[in-house]
Amino acid sequence: MNRKTWRDRDLAVLWHPCTQMQEHLDGAPLITIRRGQGVWLEDYEGRRYLDAVSSWWTNLFGHAEPRIAAAIASQAQQLEQVILAGFSHVPAIELAEQLLALAPSGLSKVFFADNGSAAVEVALKMSYHAHLNRGDTQRTRFIALQNSYHGETLGALAVTDIPLYRRTYAPLMMQPGFVPSPDAWLAEPGESAEDRAERAAQALAEVLQRQGEQTAALIIEPLVQCAAGMRMHSPLYLRRARELCDRHGVHLIADEIAVGFGRTGSLFACEQAGISPDLMCVSKGITGGFLPLAATLATEAIYQAFLSDRRDRAFLHSHSYTGNPLACAAALASLQIFRDQDVLGANRQRAAALARAAAPMAELPKVGEVRQRGMIVAFELVADRANKTPLPTVGRYGQQIYRAGLERGVLLRPLGDVIYWMPPYCISEDEIGHLGKVTQDALRVAFSA
Ligand SMILES: *Cc1c(COP(=O)(O)O)cnc(C)c1O
């Protein structure tokens, strides 16, 4: 069947995520993928696309990775799903053991969910409820960073500060305190990333000084605010945030949903600051990008606060597919790959190759900055580099680059006017070279049009 047919059938029945469907009805590209292998996606006409965004930041070791595929197939013949209340299964037990062994110290219990937003909901509810169970009824507020992104359900969206996603639903949601982001791109002229982090920490200190006793938790995306446009900050901020939270009895929630599992160079981003959060959310890469799964890791102190002979002091939260055995088997296979191969070491080589491929873009007039943390590289597009003036009509150039990329066989889905690479870890040197060349061409096309 040809692509036109699939497109028509799709648009007759599907409502796509995070999409103004009118754009497709007006002719925006809609590509139906038949198969994936390594970094490549292939459509029904045999056209191939290099998946530079790891299929929304989920994929680690390439599409249809055979070891993970085999682990899922084998688990499916054994046990596909079982209720996780009153019952358990070995993949969930082993995965929890391994996650805790790998996570920053101090985390001792794993609560499973099935998507990132749900893991954030779990963390928010757990934090509030743990304080409550200890008799601290005042702590009903959360603090999040400006430009944060924590998901789409009402609680996770409430602690999200991206107006395009949040503003419409604002009347429905709790109102957290948004504090200045340590984002180094927002540094004043002459200010270093560390200066910016220190200034943001000062602002957090002032808010906690006033509202510390009403605050349940501070939620942070450690090192990279991905949805905000791969905005990066100094680990210094995480250390200062940890100290300030401790001083005020506030939980620190690390949302590692996008940055976990090696994306920033360490297995978890928090490691680069040498801190441990009270609650840590993981999802996206956890199954190597095969199946939906999420986990919220908690400290022993938080867990203990729920132990009681009263039912209403328990954490009465559940999702139907909590800890699904197939997803746990995929996650175990993915962690086995981390053990079998020196993934983080190999990624250091790949990150250096990405840096080399990205370097020529820094010379282009509309590229305000090329920034990188491990396996994430971002190109901030601006009207004027010297004073970081944003482009007029936000997102227009991003869209043009997206289309130019697709025409050249690379999936470069922009975040507004930020173009980024977040490829699967199996990307080869040649593929990195190709990615660099196509990105450069796409940038030139967009800005000469
Ligand atoms: C993607 C993401 C989420 C939400 O995860 P979903 O599985 O899409 O619900 C939350 N936090 C961060 C930092 C994310 O990148």
Other Cβ atoms within 10 Å of 175 Cβ, number = 9
Radius of gyration of the chain (CA): 22
What is the atom index within ligand 1 of the atom nearest the CA of 151? 4
- Write down the H helix ranges in 249-392: 300-304, 325-340, 343-358
pLDDT tens track for 107-129: 999 999 999 999 999 999 999 99
Q: Identify whether the C-beta of residue 357 lies closer than 8 Å to the C-beta of residue 419.
A: no
Of 362, 444, 442, the C-alpha closest to 402 is: 442
Residue 254 CB-half CA count within 13 A: 31
- Token readout for 430 is 């040649």
pLDDT tens track for 18-51: 999 999 999 999 999 999 999 999 999 999 999 9
pTM of the model: 0.98
pLDDT of residue 103: 98
Question: 25-62 burial, b if ≥16 CB within 10 A, otherwise e?
Answer: eeeeebbebeebebbbbeebeeeebbbbbbbebbbbbb
Q: Is 149 in the pocket of ligand 1 (CB under 6 A)?
A: yes
Over residues 142-157, the mean pLDDT reads 98
Other Cβ atoms within 10 Å of 336 Cβ, number = 15
Q: Is 372 in the pocket of ligand 1 (CB under 6 A)?
A: no
Out of 145, 283, 291, 321, mutate this one to test ligand 1's pocket (max ligand atoms within 8 Å of CB): namely 283
φ, ψ at 420 (rounded to 5°): -145, 160
Q: Is 75 in the pocket of ligand 1 (CB under 6 A)?
A: no
125 Rama sector, left if φ>0, alpha if ψ -120 to 50, beta otherwise: alpha
Residue 311 CB-half CA count within 13 A: 1
- Determine the Cα angle at 309 with ends 306 and 312, to 5°: 60
Strand pairing partners for 279? 253, 298
Q: Is 116 in the pocket of ligand 1 (CB under 6 A)?
A: yes
Q: Judge whether residue 66 has pLDDT over 80.
A: yes
CA distances from 237 to 200, 215, 245 (A): 8, 19, 12
Q: Judge whether residue 3 has pLDDT over 90.
A: no
Q: 361 falls in which pLDDT band (50, 70, 90)?
A: very high
Rounded Cα distance, 86 and 80, in Å = 17
